[in-house]
Amino acid sequence: MTADPVRRAVALFRSTYGVDPAAAASAPGRVNLIGEHTDYSLGFVLPVALDLATYVATAPSGVPSGHGKLRIYSEFRKEMREWNAAEIGALTPARHWTDYPIGVAQELLRAGFAIEPANLLIRSTVPEGSGLSSSAALEVSAALAFLAGRALDPLSLARLCQRAERNFVGMPCGIMDQYISVFGREHSAVEIDCRSLGHRFVELPAGITFVAVNTMVKHALAGSAYKERVAECAAAVAGIRERFPEVESLRDVSPEQLESAAPSLPAVVARRARHVVTEDARVGRFVEASARGDVALMGKLLVESHRSLQHDYEVSCAELDFLVDTALAIDGVYGSRMTGGGFGGCTVTMLRPDAVARFGEGMARAYQRQFQATPQIYACRPSAGAGEVKDGEEF
């Protein structure tokens, strides 16, 4: 974490609340290299935490000066909201950005942590709606701010934030985004086993780099289609279990089992399952190729992943496909795919470091011509996970 965004959050806290914050926390966004839409089938994913993060500065507001209120100010929304801290547990979702921190506060209450009157300030460098997981960055940084130094082990923190999103926000998400935001590590990708919830750090070979390109769109379909895919995976498991009762999630299904069960499944459900089963295998192959420095195979697996998401899982869109196809025609690019939930957001492209500048120009020009919009481009620097920043240490 760099001190500069923290300092800006602190300065903004002072000008908003008229006092110094007592603490600040940060949590990063992520880009997923491979293993898309596999986490809620308890499979494998390979994200990296980014140096784009959400910062939350906080101070107790106390009674009577704070009248027992919890206040949250969002720099991005230029909006202040407040509640009686004592009533947080009874709130219902408002379909508003505050559902993320309030959902987290409710899960903390459920886990036995009191939510004290406090002032919070949120500032983020994770672009919203970009598929780089601004939601998890907000959940995890808000959780650390609410905890205000009280201990919660990292895995419980990630799981609590996932529950907040599932129970309060209403998105039946997997564990990937919250997990990588907590467990991210500098210079490493993190291979997460979404069943055991263990991980290993994966060092990427020298001579390659990753860049995210933002379509600047998020189609309205994203939320409902995500829920549909979760349901289709459950339907696939139910169908496959008739033949293979030992199967508990798509994670357990071998390519041979899928082949023998597929004819008895609805065609769409069989295609969804094929994506998950092949994608899980691709994660393992990608990690092995990375260990061997086989950058050509890594690139090929990225493209296979995209085609599977495009045709079998059907979560891509014209803008993402265009960015992938354009990237693949640029010299120095090894592979490219959509990343995150889909229906907009970003692609991730693996390329030679010396090709980055040319890539950025070529992509911007082509995208502008096709969609009359300027795609934002982010270098993906694998960064550390969430943490508290104590007064005096960094600000």
Nearer of residues 73 and 179 to ligand GLA, judged by Cβ:
179
Of 34, 46, 121, 176, which lies in the binding site for ligand GLA, with binding defined by CB under 6 A?
A: 176
Q: Stretches 76-84, 172-180, 304-312, 330-338: which one binds ligand GLA (CB under 6 A)?
A: 172-180
- The Cα–Cα gap between 88 and 69 comes to 10
Q: Using an 8 Å Cβ cutoff, are 211 and 348 in contact?
A: yes
Question: Minimal distance in Å, beta carbon 310 to ligand GLA?
Answer: 14
Q: Using an 8 Å Cβ cutoff, are 385 and 177 in contact?
A: no
391 is known as an active-site residue: no
Nearer of residues 5 and 345 to ligand GLA, judged by Cβ:
345
Q: Does 341 bind ligand GLA (CB under 6 A)?
A: yes
Helix (H, G, I), strand (E, B) or coil at 274: helix
β-strands 118-124, 69-74: how paired? parallel
Q: Does 304 bind ligand GLA (CB under 6 A)?
A: no
Nearer of residues 58 and 214 to ligand GLA, judged by Cβ:
214
Q: How many CB atoms lie within 10 A of CB 50?
A: 26
Helix (H, G, I), strand (E, B) or coil at 18: coil
- The Cα–Cα gap between 234 and 236 comes to 5
Q: Does 174 bind ligand GLA (CB under 6 A)?
A: yes
Q: Using an 8 Å Cβ cutoff, are 161 and 178 in contact?
A: yes
Q: Stretches 9-17, 35-43, 302-310, 321-329: which one binds ligand GLA (CB under 6 A)?
A: 35-43
For 349-390, give the DSSP string: EEE-GGGHHHHHHHHHHHHHHHHSS---EEE-------EEEE
Nearer of residues 32 and 349 to ligand GLA, judged by Cβ:
32
Task: Write down the catalytic residue from 39, 51, 99, 177.
Answer: 177
Nearer of residues 37 and 185 to ligand GLA, judged by Cβ:
37
- The Cα–Cα gap between 149 and 240 comes to 46
Q: Does 36 bind ligand GLA (CB under 6 A)?
A: yes
The interface with ligand GLA within residues 124-153 (CB under 6 A) comprises: 133
* Site of interaction with ligand GLA (CB under 6 A): 32, 36-37, 39-40, 133, 173-174, 176-177, 340-341
- Give catalytic residue positions: 177
